[in-house]
Amino acid sequence: MLPKNSLNIINPEKIMFCRTHGRKTEILLIDGIGFILNIKLYKLERELVNMDFFRCHNSFIVNINYVEQVENTKCKLKDSNEIILVSRRKKAELKKKLKGKHPFVA
C-alpha cells in the first residue's frame, strides 16, 4: 500500500480504465494497482481527450488499447476480470473507434 500523502506519476498508457467512485475517480492500471483521485470523471475525460480513451458510460472511461470484446452493454478487457459497462447509445461509437484503431476487428 502506498503512503497516504505520496505523489505518484501515472503513465496514461498504463491506465486500463477509470470509473466513478463516489465524487472521486478510481483508476485501474494494467498491473492491477488502483488509485483514487480527487477529480470528477468528466474533468479527467478532458485531460485524456487526445489519447486512446473513450467515455463508454456515465461511470466509465476505457483505454481502447485494452478492449478485447464488446458484447451487448458490457466490455471485456485484456487480462482482466473487470466488467466495464457500455451505454447503448455509445456502443456503436465505441465499435467505430475500435475499428479505426485495430485493423482486425470482427
Decide if 18 is inside a domain. yes
Decide if 21 is inside a domain. yes
Q: Whole-prediction pTM value?
A: 0.87
Decide if 4 is inside a domain. no
Decide if 7 is inside a domain. no
Decide if 87 is inside a domain. yes
Considering its fold, how many domains does the chain have in total?
A: 1
CATH number, domain of 27, equals: 2.40.50.1020
pLDDT at 39: 92
- Rounded Cα distance, 11 and 52, in Å: 13
pLDDT (tens digit, 0 to 9) for every residue of the chain, 106 residues total? 455 677 778 899 999 999 998 899 999 999 999 999 999 999 999 999 899 999 999 999 999 999 999 999 999 999 888 889 999 999 999 989 988 877 766 6
Q: What CA–CA distances, in Å, run from 91 to 29, 73, 96?
A: 23, 7, 9
Computed from CA positions of residues 70, 68, 95, 59, in that sequence, does the dihedral angle turn out positive or negative? positive
- Residue 49's domain comprises 13-101
Decide if 56 is inside a domain. yes
Decide if 8 is inside a domain. no
